[in-house]
């Protein structure tokens, strides 16, 4: 039945009487009408979209011609020979070929060829230049700031005099950046240095002071360096460093009761006076002397040679010196 119906439908479509037939169908049954609607949608979908592989070229808009000004000849060509160079190049700036009237060349080329000229030469731009620090420029700037200067203090003409009158050297660092803040954490660091020979010590105080300051003292240069960075402000750190220096200095003159118990093993250097060497030498020199007589003390030269031998370490020179002093002390004649 459905086949018949389809055939009929086709015919009616063909005759463009769709409306009429649909009404008839509606009369025929409600179920059939639904089927017919579905059939119609399928037919509409069967019209495929076109895949166009060759894109259709749009009309390209004509590029606008950028009008460039003609490149002017280098400025350096027009520079006068006696111009004021400080005005032409007033401050630090990377190299600019047209502004520098010098036939500069720089860079690598093949063998035998001349080095690239200054135009479009990255090599010349990379390296720092001092074109702003020509002698006339410096002279000019010095002249300009002279009005702000005060005369140099009398009595501080030489470096030695400065060192003598101002033995303490304070070093701080200021940092300049283009940052929202002008603070730099490193700026709080204060370094106070001082030659130890400027301070007055006795033997005990010096020993104690050196123990107190520990590695802050450089034995080779005799310089004491105190670095303070524990406080947030520079002023506080400076005060703290000076406080440390003062406190250590005064503390070193105090002899604590426990310091008396320092034994030979704690000694940092060998002292002839404290050691058995002195006893032996005295005993030998005063052999067979009565108790009441004045004792002969070992010679200074011998004492020094023993100290040198032990403190400086052994070498042929020290040993030979020691031998010479022993022979002299024991009164043994030496063959020549």
Which residues sit at the interface with other proteins, rule CB under 8 A? 275-277, 280-281, 283-284, 287-288, 302, 306, 309-310, 314-316, 319, 322-323, 326-327, 329-333, 335
Evaluated on CA atoms 49, 50, 51, 57, the torsion sign reads: negative
Judged by CB, which is closer to other proteins: 124, or 325? 325
Q: What are phi and psi of 318, to 5 degrees?
A: -65, -40
d(CA 130, CA 13): 96
Cross-strand pairs, 223: 195, 218
Judged by CB, which is closer to other proteins: 122, or 284? 284
Evaluated on CA atoms 91, 94, 100, 106, the torsion sign reads: positive
Judged by CB, which is closer to other proteins: 261, or 288? 288
Alpha-carbon separation of residue 197 from 39, 45, 173, 206, 245 (angstroms): 115, 106, 27, 10, 14
Judged by CB, which is closer to other proteins: 122, or 330? 330
Min dist. Cβ of residue 206 to other proteins (A): 25
Judged by CB, which is closer to other proteins: 252, or 305? 305
- Computed on alpha carbons and rounded to an integer, the radius of gyration of the chain in Å comes to 51
Min dist. Cβ of residue 314 to other proteins (A): 4
Min dist. Cβ of residue 207 to other proteins (A): 21
d(CA 1, CA 28): 12
Judged by CB, which is closer to other proteins: 224, or 306? 306
Min dist. Cβ of residue 262 to other proteins (A): 17
Min dist. Cβ of residue 297 to other proteins (A): 14
Min dist. Cβ of residue 287 to other proteins (A): 5
Cross-strand pairs, 190: 228
Min dist. Cβ of residue 303 to other proteins (A): 11
Within 13 Å of residue 100, how many CA atoms lie on the same side as its CB? 18
Continuous segment of H or E residues that includes residue 279: helix 276-285
Judged by CB, which is closer to other proteins: 137, or 309? 309
d(CA 169, CA 195): 9
């Amino acid at each position: 039945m459905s086949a018949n119906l389809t055939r009929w439908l086709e015919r009616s479509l063909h005759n463009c009487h769709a409306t009429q037939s649909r009404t008839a169908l509606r009369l025929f049954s409600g179920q059939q009408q639904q089927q017919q609607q579905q059939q119609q949608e399928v037919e509409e979908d069967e019209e495929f979209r076109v895949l166009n592989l060759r894109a259709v070229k749009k009309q390209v808009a004509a590029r606008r011609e950028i009008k460039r000004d003609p490149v002017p000849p280098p400025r350096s060509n027009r520079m006068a020979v006696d111009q004021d160079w400080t005005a032409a190049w007033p401050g630090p700036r990377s190299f600019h070929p047209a502004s520098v009237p010098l036939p500069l060349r720089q860079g690598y080329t093949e063998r035998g060829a001349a080095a690239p000229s200054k135009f479009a030469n990255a090599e010349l731009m990379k390296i720092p230049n001092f074109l702003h620090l020509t002698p006339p420029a410096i002279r000019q700037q010095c002249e300009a700031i002279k009005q702000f200067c005060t005369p140099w203090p009398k009595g501080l003409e030489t470096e030695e005099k400065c060192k003598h009158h101002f033995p303490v050297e304070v070093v701080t660092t200021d940092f300049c950046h283009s940052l929202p803040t002008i603070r730099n954490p490193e700026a709080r660091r204060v370094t106070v240095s001082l030659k130890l020979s400027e301070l007055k010590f006795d033997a005990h105080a010096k020993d104690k002071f050196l123990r107190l300051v520990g590695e802050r003292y450089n034995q080779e240069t005799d310089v004491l360096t105190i670095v303070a960075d524990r406080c947030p402000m520079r002023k506080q750190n400076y005060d703290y460093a000076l406080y440390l220096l003062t406190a250590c200095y005064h503390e070193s003159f105090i002899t604590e009761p426990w310091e008396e118990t320092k034994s030979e093993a704690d000694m940092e250097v060998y002292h002839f006076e404290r050691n058995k060497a002195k006893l032996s030498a005295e005993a030998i020199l005063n052999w067979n002397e009565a108790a009441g007589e004045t004792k002969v003390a070992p010679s200074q030269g011998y004492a020094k040679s023993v100290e040198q031998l032990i403190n400086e370490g052994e070498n042929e020179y020290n040993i030979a010196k020691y031998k010479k002093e022993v022979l002299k002390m024991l009164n043994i004649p030496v063959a020549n």
